[in-house]
Chains A and B, each alone.
Chain A
Amino acid sequence: MADNDPNLVDLGFLDARIKLIDIAAFLDRLDRHGQADDYRVDALRKAFSELNSQEAGRAARVLDALSDHTEEPIEAAVIQGAFGAPLKTR
C-alpha cells in the first residue's frame, strides 16, 4: 500500500522490545510483591497466547480477550471509569 516500503522492523523493533521487557518486568514486580493474583492480570495472561499466534488479527483478538462479552445494558452506571478487563473474570 505504501509507495516505497521502508523496513518496518527497523522502525518498530526497539519499541516492541521495550514493551515486551516492560511486561516481563511488570509480572516479576507483581510476584515480588505478592500481587499477581488479580483478575486484570489473569486477563492479561490469557491474552498473551495471541502473541504466539501465526494468524493475522492479533490486536483485535487481544482487545476481545480484554473485553466485556455480555450483551445487555447494565442496570445503572455506579462508576464512570473502566478497569481494562471485565470484572466477571475474577
Chain B
Amino acid sequence: MVSRTMDDYMALACAGCKAVNEPAFWAGFDRASAQGFYDYFRQITEYEPRRAAKFCIEHYCWLCINPKEAEDPGLAREVISLIPEFLKKPNVLGIGEIGLNKNSRNELMILEEHIQLAEDHGQLILVHTPHLEDKRKGTKLIIDALLNHPKLDPGRVIIDHVEEHTAPLVLDKGFWAGMTLYPESKVTPNRAIDMLEMYGCERVWMNSACDWGVSDPLSVPKAALEMRRRGYDDAFIDQIVYSNPAQFMGQSERFALK
C-alpha cells in the first residue's frame, strides 16, 4: 500500500486482516519514464512486503502499466518489457491491474499485450474497469478482448470494480467479479451486499480501495459489519471476505493462505 502510512497496516492487522494484495496502479500522477516504473516494481515486490510483515500481514502484488498511463504505446511497451524479470519475485500473483480507462484504441492495444504476457507466463490476471459513464462500454470491450484468447481460463481472471450493470456480464462468462468498496463514491458496502443477493456468492470478492484518493482500507471489515447487521452469519461472511479471495489467489502457488 504505497500510498498509505503504517497506521493503515496497523488498523488492518487489528481488524483481522491476514493478507493484502496490491495491484500496480496509477500513482496520482503520470510517471515520466520506464525507470519510474522499475523503481515502483521494486517498491511493491521488495519494500512493501517488509512493511506489511511488521504487522504480521502477508503482502502480494500484481504488475503492469495501468490503463491510465497506457495511452503512450512506446512507454507502455518499455514498461511491459521490465515485467518478466519481476515475475520471479515471491510475492507476485500475476498481471494487473490492467484494463481500460477511457476506452481508447491504444489502451485496448496495450491491454491485449498484457493479456498475451500473462498467457505466455501462465499468470493470473487482475483487470480494472473504467469508472462512471465509461464502465459499461469498457467492461464489454475488456470481456471481448479476454475472450479473444480461447486458451485463457476465465476462472483465472478477476474483473474488478463491477457494479450492478456490469456484474452479470462478467459472471455470465465465467470470470471472477471484484467489488471495490469506496466510502463515498462508487460501490458502497450495502450495494455490494445487494449484488451478492442478486448475483450469488460464487466467484466474487470484495476489496477495499486503498489508493491516493479518498478511500478506506477498512472498507471490507465495515462491509462485514454491514452483513452482520443484515442478518448474515459467520460462515457467509467468512466465505466472502476470506475463502473466496483465498480460492482465487490460491490458484497461484505463491499464495500461502489457503
Contacts and interface: CB of A to CB of B under 8 A. Distances in A.
A2 B102 CA distance: 38
B101 interface: yes
Please tell me the size bucket of the interface on A: 20 to 34
Interface residues of B, number: 32
Interface stretch (B10-18, B31-39, B118-126, B134-142): B134-142
A82 B132 contact: yes
Nearest to A66: B133
A2 B231 contact: yes
A4 B232 CA distance: 8
User: Do most interface residues of chain B lie in helix, strand or loop, or is the interface mixed?
Assistant: helix
Contacts of A73: 103-105, 107-108, 141
B165 A60 contact: yes
B233 interface: yes
A76 B230 contact: no
B59 interface: no
Contact of B68 (A59, A80, A84): A80
A86 B137 CA distance: 11
A37 interface: no
Interface of A: 1-6, 8, 11-12, 57, 59-61, 63-64, 66-71, 73-77, 79-80, 82-86
Given A60-B165, A77-B101, 4 more contacts: A5-B231, A59-B164, A68-B134, A75-B104
